[in-house]
Every structure is written in C-alpha cells, then in structure tokens.
Structure 1
C-alpha cells in the first residue's frame, strides 16, 4: 500500500514509568506507525522484557485479526526488541514483521519507487534500499541507523527525503537489522569499510551521510576515511560510546569505572555489571544483547569494545561540513558531552550544532516526537551548505 504523502506522527507521551520502556513505546508510535490507543492499553502492564514481549505480541495478533496490518507490523517488529538473543521467538518475529512489511508496501517496489539491492561485504550482503529524487536532484544521501536499528524504520524518512529532491541509499551494516539477526555479522567500529563498499558498488561521489543514534558516531567515523563523503549529519551527540554510557551515571561511579578500566580490573568490572543485571531485568537485557551484538564474552570485554566506538581519536581527520543534532532530554545521552565532540572536530569545513527541546516535541533520543521538524532541519542545512 502506497501513501499519497509522507507524514509523521508528532508528540511525546508518558506511557511507562521506566525511561527506556517509555521511549521504546513512543518509538512504536513515531517511527513504526503503531496506534497510540493500542499502546496505551498495554503500556502500564509492561514491567520487564518478558511482559514487553507478551503484550506486544498480543496486540500484534489482535491487529492481524482486525485486518490492521500496518499496526501489526509495528508490534511484531518491536516485540523482538527486548527478547534475549537466544530466544527462538526473536528471529521468528523479526522475520514475520519484515515479511509483512515488504508485502504490505510491495507497491513501492513493484512500480520502481524503491529498489532493493544486496551489496557484498566480507562474508555477508548488506541490504540497501534506493529511491530516486522527485524532481531535480539536490544531493545524494547515504542513510543508516545505529545500535538497535531496523532499516525499515527509516523507510518513510527515506521517502520524505526523496520527495524533497534527494537520491537516497538506505542501508544496514554489520550489527544492524538483517545483517546481525539473520546473517550473524557483528558490529565494527570501522564503519568506513562497509560504507566504502556501498559507495564503490553504486559508483557514488559527493554524498551526504546521515547516521542516527550510534550512527551519530559511525557516520563521522566513515567520513574521516572516505573523501567522497562531503557532508555529515550526526543524528545524535555521540563522541564515544563508553562516554555516552557513563554520562548517565553519577560522577563518582564514572570515575570508579574508568579507574577500574585503566587497571584492567576485569573480575571487578564483571562483578559490578552482573550484580546490576540481577537487580534489573532491563540492565540484564542490555548487557546480554550488547555482548551478543559486539561479540564480547564478558562485560569487561564489552566495555573495552565500546571504547573503540568513538570519533574523538579521528576527529582531526574529518574535514567535511558537519551538522550535529542533539536533544535536551535524551535518556541515553547526557547532551552536555557535546563539548567533547565539538572540541575534537578541529579541521571541519563548517560545524553546525542543533539542540532540540521539549517545546519542539523533539527532546527525546533521535528527536523522537517530531521527525518532520528534524528531517526538515537536515534538508535546510544541506541546501544551505551546497549553495
């Protein structure tokens, strides 16, 4: 089913007392086209990863029975989000949501509006969706997500860019979506490697790269080593993954953990994380999923790997125009760490920093709550920089 015009939901809703559950429930509505009333009916029942899975599958089944396939896709897709990676249902519901998505929106592919490619990369294939600019082309965009992204979530952002005059290549890299869930390819901090393969495959040049969430670190990292990228949009403040994790902790705890890491105190760090996981099922999920996605065998190894996901060590190599977008109430990221990011970008052609607020309905992570405003800001910046 095709849309006459690409539109986005708007608003920030208080749906659950736990910050991450609340954000992810908003995500279902804002980025996955879920129904607010459906979510309200179950939001108070969600207490942990098990109830998250149960309740979303229930409303997914209800939506299917009522013929509301668009909503069912949203609920099935996000039902697997908090499933543990050894849960057989994780792949089952990922595949179900994905198959339903491409069937429901098959008109976009049948008439050539969107073309699906697979780009060889090492032992896997990177899925890429391409859509052509409507009217005169203003630019070419490479678009990707972050740590726990699904390419399909950015499908309508891709189409919105196309409506506004951009060729767009939307892709998943190692650690994301199909590449991790089906092909079992874990994350790499060397994001320039998959990006260069995609640029070579399509023979691109003079492109803008946009990375959301962790993509706010990955996209600039790619630009540091890929000269055909001329403009960078970091769709989240993300100077260093480890710093981002620590930024939400009290200062004393941050100092202790950093000192322990300098001492390579693996047993103590493992004990601290494991105690936290036993006390909080959300922490347990985040730890287990993170270790899986980053191919780490212990919490200590996980923290060491996260410390490789940074731009503070390559910022001096980035000489492109860059736009950094943050949010004042991002529960994942303390926006005050933006100073670390700006300071490392000493040789950029130009630097623009945009901080969205609650008044704009865009204070959540990735400005969840006002996608249109965020995308329009990106579009306006590209047009201005290319003048």
Structure 2
C-alpha cells in the first residue's frame, strides 16, 4: 500500500434500528476504514450476534476476493466484536485481521515511521506502537483505548497527532485487544500498574495521557498515582462503570438493581440480567463480553467488579490538568453523569469539560462522526495548557 494523507470521515448514518448495532456499523466505516456501500448492503440483515458475525465475515471474504484488503481488515476485525468467549472464530478472526493489518501497512514499519515495542508485564507482553513528532516536538502522548478497543483502530489518530508535532506511544493494556484475546490477561482497574510499567520501560515522563471510552476512567485513575502524567484527557465521561452500566436502565429497574447489590442478592440479580439479555442485544453483549474480559463467572460478579472501575474514589488524588470530553447523544453513557465526575475532581490544577453535539456530527460515543474535530480539540487544549503552565511558573 502507499502511505496516504491522513483524513477522517465526517457524519453518522442510520444503518440499523438497534442502537448498538448501528453504532458499531458506523464504527466499521469511521474508525476501521470499511466501505459505506458494503455496510449498507448488510446492515438490515443484522438482527443478533450470529447474523453480525455471518454478515461481516461474508463481506470480508468478498473484499479479499476483490483485492480490497483494507476493507477486508475492517470487516474481519469487527466480525469478532459480538462473538462470545468460547467461540473458536473469535481468536481466529482477530488474529487474521491483525496479521493482515500489519502486512498491509508494513511500509510504516519498514521505513521507521512507526516502531513496535513489547513491554513485559505480569507474565504477558503489552504491545506499544511509537511514532515520532513531525517537526518541533510539542509534547509526548500516551494513548490507549477502553473496554472493547483494538489498538489498530487508533493507528491513524496516532499518526495524526505525530503530524501535528507530538511524540505518541499507543499501547494495549490488560483486558484489551490481543492482550486479552491471545494472551488471556484480564482487565485491572488499577490502570496505574500497566501505565507505570510502560513509562519505566520506555523511559518517558512529562506526558499527556489520553484514554478513550472506558479509557476515560482508566487514564485519570492512572494519573491519580503516576505523577509523570502531567495532563489527562478523558475521551468520554466515565466516573464509575457501575453507574455507566445503569445509566440507560429504566428508573425503577435501576433502583431495584442498586438495592439488590447493596444486599448482595446474587441469584435474583443474575435472573434479572439474564432475562434482560434475552430481550436486548446490547445487554446480552455487554454481560457476556464483560464476564469474558473481566474474568467474572456471573452477571452479579461482573457488576461487583464494575464498581471497582471508577475515579470517584480517587478523584481527590488527581492534581494534574484534566480535559473531559462528552457527547450529548451517547447511547452507552448518560452524559448527565458529568456532574458526578467533575465533582470528584476537587484538586486538579485545571479542569475543562467539552460536550459535543449532533450539530458537530460528534454527539455519539467517543464523538464518533467527527474524529478530526475531537483530535483537534485535544491538540488545542494541550497547547493551551502547556502555555498556561509556563506563564504560571
């Protein structure tokens, strides 16, 4: 392949009547370089996790046969998204897409534009991609995803940051990408542990950390304990995973779940969530993926673990500059949770909150639909914050 100028598509499409399938189909196009016309042909055929898998693999095979490798990578990668633990195709298609990705984009690695590292961590290796700032270096960024991320999705945002003058280290931690899928390392809420290990191994400091989606909770959590982090960008409102998970649940059901959690009534909670999973594909996926990635044996155990993934209990320890990015039509996260998050950040050096809207084509989760605007907002905030720090000194 030839290196192309980095561009990002703008806009969101109504592709499927179920919110999460619709979002993920947009993700195939916006973040994974899939072809919109390919996706339109299959979008209405997707009704559940089985048809998602079948349709994405089918158009992946078609793209390979037509020599459209970039598109095939997108379809194979996302085909495993709704596959559950125990499905042998989950690892198969993850590895296929990943191998194809590094072969297709090998030019970036062969000419040294991107350098790969493997950082030893608790019996596994955390993959890191590094790209050097073009021109005068403005800052160093440590970038990572969240609950269901693939490092390769952030490859071009990484390169875009470098074009704008930033050294960037992009990494996967426990529970993410291949660290979970092929190495079997489950999530930890103590995100400072992998972050500190990466910083030590690479010998870097005075950094801006950016975490997307659940990374919007993980990155601030790391900053609470790792003071080589000087600036924090939470690329999603995410004060507490348990609150986020209940954020779109009907009011009475939410009250019932909280009460049952307080009393530790596991059997009834398991029954409720298993019943909800049968009615709602998003709930079904969230529970099964969560039990897989968080090494939980039941929905109840998963919810208990989710409550550990929060910044509200450590917010007072975060004393860096912080930017929180939200979206006013996020189907995963009720944006009104921003109050709980901002209130917990009582000792930060500075705090900026930016809520994106549908008028900016950035109102969905992680501002899907206008990646360029989102990245430019981060870049401008970093520059402004560093300038402000100089003036303060």
Q: Into which bin does the TM-score normalised by the smaller protein fall?
A: over 0.9
SS at match of 1:372: helix
| 2:262 is the alignment partner of 1:259 | no
Mapped partners of 1:252, 1:34: distance in 2: 40
Work out whether residues 3 and 107 of structure 2, in 8 Å CA contact, stay in contact via their aligned partners in 1. no
Deviation of 1:250 after TM superposition, in Å, equals 1.8
Match of 1:302 in 2: 302
1:216, 1:236 within 8 Å by CA — same for their partners in 2? Answer: yes
Contact 1:119 1:201 (C-alpha < 8 Å) held by counterparts: yes
Secondary structure, in 3 states, of the residue corresponding to 1:340? helix
Structure 2 match to 1:203 = 203
Instruction: List per-residue Cα deviations over 1:127-166 (Å, max 9, x = no partner).
Output: 0000000000000000000000000000000000000000
Alignment of 1:26-175 (within 5 A): 26-175=26-175
1:140, 1:206 within 8 Å by CA — same for their partners in 2? yes
Preserved contact between residue 137 and residue 165 of structure 1 (Cα < 8 Å): yes
SS at match of 1:386: helix
Alignment of 1:244-283 (within 5 A): 244-283=244-283
Residue segments in structure 1 that go unaligned for 5+ positions in a row: none
CA contact (8 A) 1:2 1:108 kept: no
Aligned partner of 2:181 in structure 1 is 181
Partner SS state of residue 284, structure 2: helix
Specify the SS of the correspondent of 1:169.
Answer: strand
CA distance in 2: counterparts of 1:367 and 1:330, whole angstroms: 8
* Alpha-carbon distance in structure 2 between the residues aligned to 1:350 and 1:209: 15
SS in 1 for 2:58: helix
Query: Across the two proteins, how many residue pairs are aligned to each other?
Result: 387
Q: Distance in 2 between matches of 1:275 and 1:14?
A: 28
Sort the Cα spacing of 1:281 and 1:385 in 2 relative to 1 into closer, same or farther, 3 A.
closer
User: Residues of 2 paired with 1:90 and 1:286: CA distance?
Assistant: 16
Aligned residue number for residue 313 of structure 2: 313
Q: Aligned equivalents of 1:154 and 1:180: distance in 2? A: 17
Question: Offset of 1:276 from its aligned partner?
Answer: 1.5
Q: TM-score, normalised by structure 2?
A: 0.97
Deviation of the 1:2 alpha carbon: 3.9
Q: Where does residue 325 of structure 1 map in the other structure?
A: 325
Question: Alpha-carbon deviations, 1:80-107, whole Å to 9, x = none?
Answer: 0001111101111000000000000000
Output the CA distance in 1 between the equivalents of 2:86 and 2:63. 27
1:288 and 1:133 mapped to 2: Cα distance? 40
Q: CA deviation at 1:278?
A: 2.7
How far is 1:281 from its partner? 4.2
CA distance in 1, matches of 2:276, 2:331: 18
Pairing 1:14-29 to 2, within 5 Å after superposition: 14-29=14-29
Q: TM (normalized to structure 1)?
A: 0.99
Which shows bigger deviation, 272-281 or 146-155? 272-281
**Distance apart, 1:279 and its partner CA:** 2.9
**CA-CA distance at 1:48 after TM superposition:** 0.3
* SS of equivalent to 2:11: coil
Q: CA deviation at 1:282?
A: 4.0
Cα distance in 2 for residues equivalent to 1:285 and 1:224? 31
1:240-291 deviation line (CA, Å, top 9, x unaligned):
0000011111222211111110001111111111112233344323211111
Q: In 1, Cα distance between the equivalents of 2:361 and 2:3?
A: 24
Shift of residue 112, structure 1, vs aligned partner: 0.2
- Name stretches of at least 5 consecutive residues in structure 2 with no aligned partner: 388-393
On the 8 A contact 1:48/1:282 being kept in 2, the answer is no
1:287 — aligned with what?
287
Contact 1:49 1:282 in 2 (8 A): no
- In 2, Cα distance between the equivalents of 1:51 and 1:364? 24
